[in-house]
Chains A and B, each alone.
Chain A
Amino acid sequence: MKSTILYEVSKFLIPIIQLFGIYIIFHGHLSPGGGFAGGTIIGAGLILYRIVFGEEKAQEKLKYTKLLNLMCGSLITYGILKGYSFIVGGSNVHLFDIPLGKPGDILSGGLILPLNICVGIVVSVVIYFLFNLFYEGEI
């Protein structure tokens, strides 16, 4: 799409959209939101980039293999972290207890924050892939 207005506005808007998504991911344990909602917003930002700047530029910036590796990496991290907490909780051993956190403090969320970040990455990449599946051209 070759429209100057669109081009300039989205140049300004995409960073803000992504910042907002990151904000929602980081505050998932304090306020409504979390990995899924925030990831969708970031994914929407990526989709906007793909529509406005075209296939070539998007493929250059958001390489398929890179995104896939990022997604799989966060899935593995999620699996290991949550699996650790499952196994520890299930067998009642207390090797290294993850802090429970206290309300109102971002960095004391225990496992929720890293898990939310993982979910956010996975969801944003998946949303972007899904869009590309139906849009013309390749991922």
Chain B
Amino acid sequence: MIARNFPLLTIMILLICSFIMPIVKEAKTFKKLSIISMGASVVLNISTLIYIKYDGSFFYRVGHWDAPWGIELHIGMIEIIIGILFTLVASLVIWYSFYSVDTEIPKEKIRFYYLLINILIASLLGIVYSNDLFNSFVFIEVSTLASCGIVVIKDKKENIKATLKYLILSILGSGLFLMGIAFIYSITGNLNMTFIHNELAEIYIKYQNTILISLALFTVGLGVKSAMFPLHIWLPDAHSNAPSTSSALLSALVLKAFVFMLIKILLRVFSLEIVIQYRVLDLLLILGSIGMIFGSVLAIMQKNIKRVIAYSSVAQMGYIFYGIGLGNSLGLTISIFHIISHALTKSTLFLAVGSMMEQTGKNLSDLKGIGKEMPVTLGIFTIGAFSMVGIPILPGFISKWYFALATIDASKLIYLGVILLSSLLNAVYYFPIIINGYFGEENLKGKVFMSKNKPVKELLPVLILTVGIILVGIFNKGIINAINKSLI
């Protein structure tokens, strides 16, 4: 029974701990505080998962007011899995950042960096858990500010420019999202998702245009924030200029929270039966497939390794939108599974690349022969890249396999070619990095084996993430079943 309080408690703990950080003096103390609060939220989330496994999903009333007036949290299996994913990845990234933060961020700003990470994760958890549209909007704004903060904290020329681009497009997205809430509020008179859903089921025939407008506003608004293909232009700059730990968080978690919000709106607010009557899902399907191909094509043209991975994010977000656009429950399930697999993989890739970039340069040509100097790091990178390309057992393969099954299920066979082409394109830009890393002959001269490798202690968080990737691949059946069961 007490486990019902844990989701709210995680958000409160993270927020309160974040504001203790500017007060404490010692650098060690706030670093400890950051990792302890994040670790505590992982533990709390896992105990909530155990509670949900036996007692089922529940609605949690925040404060003293009942549902239509007060704010409500809805915690089901999917939400708690994503919550665990977010807190786990964040705590591993924070752990990794202890060894790299001094080189990348000015010294007097480090405490604010950890403050921002805590606020960011708290607000993302809020987006995932909340069952109230306006509350989600506030959390979205908080997370936007915090994620802009962790990009700009490096305080270089390019960072500021990239952040401004990111901020302007994010503001556009939140404006559209708020307008969408305004439209839906004006016809239903509610902000609680469950109540809006019940209201819409009765009246949607009368207000078809309004529903179409607000659906479009929600889709485009959240599409800007989660880098749907033609609206992704802020992503490569922001993700490649940020410190590598921030890139890992932004790419792995922030995009995912917004896309999950979109899934929640389509599923919980409008319900699939209503959404299917409009062409919004087709739009998502087409944009997703274009993103899958063009994200990869653009990634091939890059010279900077971080930009390659950033564009690869665009392609992978394309998969998620594609899965939503298929419009059947298998497609949605696999989209959520892909959120998990991509979050783990992309954070691993960014951290591995970050530690390579510390030692060499940021261009692809600098990484030739890196396999001799940093075999462990390149090994981790290889596993991540294999998962992205879709080598069996790894989660990337499993989600691609099920995407194909879902496509057949929805009888849209033409799109199978898109999945195949996109996988091939993925291989085109990931394999050269690996092959040049291990066998790049011309740069191998004068390089000493393991000379630049980080100590295993510093690579441990990334290794744990890699183990997580493999575990998700092995236990995919259980995860997919759990998601599928609690969908809708």
Contacts and interface: CB of A to CB of B under 8 A. Distances in A.
Whether A and B touch (Cβ < 8 Å) is answered with yes
Interface of A: 68-69, 72-73, 75-76, 79-80, 83, 85-87, 89-91
A89 B62 contact: yes
Nearest to B70: A89
Interface string B352-396: 000000000000000000000000000000000000000000000
Contacts of B1: 91
Given A83-B16, A87-B8, A90-B8, A72 B64 contact: no
A66 to B, nearest CB: 11
Contacts, number: 47
Given A72-B20, A90-B62, 8 more contacts: A75-B19, A76-B16, A79-B15, A83-B16, A86-B8, A87-B5, A90-B5, A90-B63
A36 to B, nearest CB: 15
Q: Most B CB atoms within 10 A — which of A76, A85, A86?
A: A86
A68 B1 CA distance: 38
B22 interface: yes
Contacts of B8: 83, 86-87, 90
B60 interface: yes
Interface in B5-33: 5, 8-9, 12, 15-16, 19-20, 22-23
Contacts of B64: 85, 89
Contact of A90 (B15, B22, B61): B61
22 contacts: A69-B23, A72-B19, A72-B20, A72-B22, A76-B16, A76-B19, A79-B12, A79-B15, A79-B19, A80-B16, A83-B16, A85-B64, A86-B62, A87-B5, A87-B9, A89-B63, A89-B65, A90-B4, A90-B60, A90-B63, A91-B1, A91-B5
Nearest to B61: A90
B2 interface: yes
| 3 residue pairs, one from A and one from B, having the closest CB atoms | A89-B64, A83-B12, A79-B16
B20 A76 contact: yes
A76 to B, nearest CB: 5
Contacts of A75: 19
Contacts of A86: 8, 12, 62-63
A91 B61 CA distance: 8
